[in-house]
Amino acid sequence: MASRKDVAELAGVSPASVSYYINQNGYVSKEAGEKIQFAVDKLNYTPNAIARSLRIKDSKQFVFFCNDIRNPFYSQLVHRATKVATEKDYTVLFSPVVDNEEHIKKMVSFQVSGVFASNNHMNVNQINNIAKRDIPVVLLRDIDWPDLDESVSQIKVLFASIMEEIVEHLKEEGAKNICYIASCSSLNIGKIDSKTTAFIKASKDIKHSVLHNISATADGYNSFLEAFKEDPSIDSVVCTNDGVALGVLKAAEKLNLSVPEDIKIIGFDNSSISQYSNPPITSVDINSDEIGKIAVDMLLSKTKKETVEDVIIKPKLIIRRSSKKIKHFYMEITK
């Protein structure tokens, strides 16, 4: 691998001139620049990005801590974020490991330019410790933390209103017993996420139950089989994401339950899973594509020491056949 010294020798200039030319931070004559570029091309020279990042204190790398890449929401979010970051000459490093203290410390020790965290399985101390390193942090908030470091910027999803809308929709369709399948690992105060809190509050006037620590399709399938075995009066299921909703849909098929006549199913994130399943799954659109762009834009602004205000996301309920009887559904769209 060619070094800066090799380029300098071939071009007949000093290593300092090569550095000035590569980094564009010093004077290099047109003639010398042409010689250096010829040497760079001939030797296939690539500057040491790590050394450069240590010098300018910007690695051009953002770390995204997201709960589960199997969730299509995070796949779409990271996909868009990566495209936006690349356009700005930044790289996104993705990590689904968010509950290992040593791993988190290792990831942020590489002179990273910023951190985005979706925090279902991260605690406030972990977030604050990152911020105290003077690393820009943007948080997709699922848990209310009164002692969150004030330097942390947040993307807040208004779960309260959408959960009220979901429960009202299910009631209109005849729901009497709603089960919510949550991704949070506990129902203890301080660990329960805002989405789950909003469901419990919205369901205070109807029979309901909550299953927790479930975020994958297979877990959704197995958890609903077990829940329905214990309580066959469950007639509606609200799921933390569309992958879990698909698992519940398959479990309903195994139990010979008709959807939505016997069991109504609602997912979250409005992913391709919800749109192309059979029947299509009612879901909540919180615009994962846009959140990926927003997160990168906020981090870029924070790296420039600009003031960054919190962003509010208002979800939208997309009603499909998994929760609304067909005759009602077609009446609605033909108005």
pLDDT beyond 60 at 180:
yes
pLDDT at 335: 40
* Whether residue 62 has pLDDT greater than 90: yes
pLDDT one-digit tens code per residue, 256-267? 999 999 999 999
Give pLDDT, residue 332.
45
Residue range 16-27: mean pLDDT, rounded: 78
- Predicted confidence at residue 193, as pLDDT, reads 82
Asked if 299 and 114 count as a contact pair (C-beta separation under 8 A), the reply is yes
CATH H superfamily, domain 159-282+319-333: Response regulator (3.40.50.2300)
The structural domains of the chain, with segments of one domain joined by +, span 4-47, 59-157+288-314, 159-282+319-333
Secondary structure of the chain as H, E, C letters: CCCHHHHHHHHCCCHHHHHHHHHCCCCCCHHHHHHHHHHHHHHCCCCCHHHHHHHHCCCCEEEEECCCCCCHHHHHHHHHHHHHHHHCCCEEEEECCCCCHHHHHHHHCCCCCEEEEECCCCCHHHHHHHHCCCCCEEEEECCCCCCCCCCCEEEEECHHHHHHHHHHHHHHCCCCEEEEECCCCCCCCCCCCHHHHHHHHHCCCCEEEEECCCCCHHHHHHHHHHHHHHCCCCCEEEECCHHHHHHHHHHHHHCCCCCCCCCEEECCCCCHHHHHCCCCCEEEECCHHHHHHHHHHHHHHHHCCCCCCCEEECCEEECCCCCCCHHHHHHHHCC
Per-residue pLDDT band for 331 (boundaries 50, 70, 90) equals: very low
- For 104-121, write each residue's pLDDT tens digit: 888 887 778 999 998 666
Q: Which residue has the higher pLDDT, 290 or 185?
A: 290
Is 187 a residue whose pLDDT tops 80?
no
Lowest mean pLDDT among 33-37, 93-97, 203-207, 307-311: 93-97
Instruction: Check for a shared fold between 59-157+288-314 and 159-282+319-333.
Output: yes
In order of 154, 219, 227, the CA distances from 123 in angstroms are 15, 24, 29
Q: Is CATH 3.40.50.2300 what the domain over 59-157+288-314 is classified as, yes or no? A: yes
**Residue 56 pLDDT:** 46
Q: Cα(143)–Cα(71) distance, rounded to whole angstroms?
A: 19
**pLDDT exceeds 70 at position 24:** no
CA angle, corner 98, sides to 268 and 51, nearest 5? Answer: 120
What integer pLDDT is reported at residue 179 of this predicted model? 98
- Give the pLDDT score at 189: 52
Q: Return the pLDDT at 314.
A: 93
Strand pairing report for 283-285 and 316-318? antiparallel
Q: What is the mean pLDDT of residues 146-170?
A: 93
Q: Which of 145, 153, 159, 235 is nearest to 197 (CA)?
A: 159
Residue 131's φ and ψ, nearest 5 degrees, are -60, -35
Does position 130 have pLDDT exceeding 80, yes or no?
yes
Q: What would the mean pLDDT of 48-60 be, rounded to a whole number?
A: 55
Least confident of 34-48, 215-229, 253-267: 34-48
Q: What is the mean pLDDT of the chain?
A: 87
Residue of higher predicted confidence among 68 and 298:
298
pLDDT score recorded for residue 264: 98
Task: Give percent of the chain above pLDDT 70.
Answer: 87
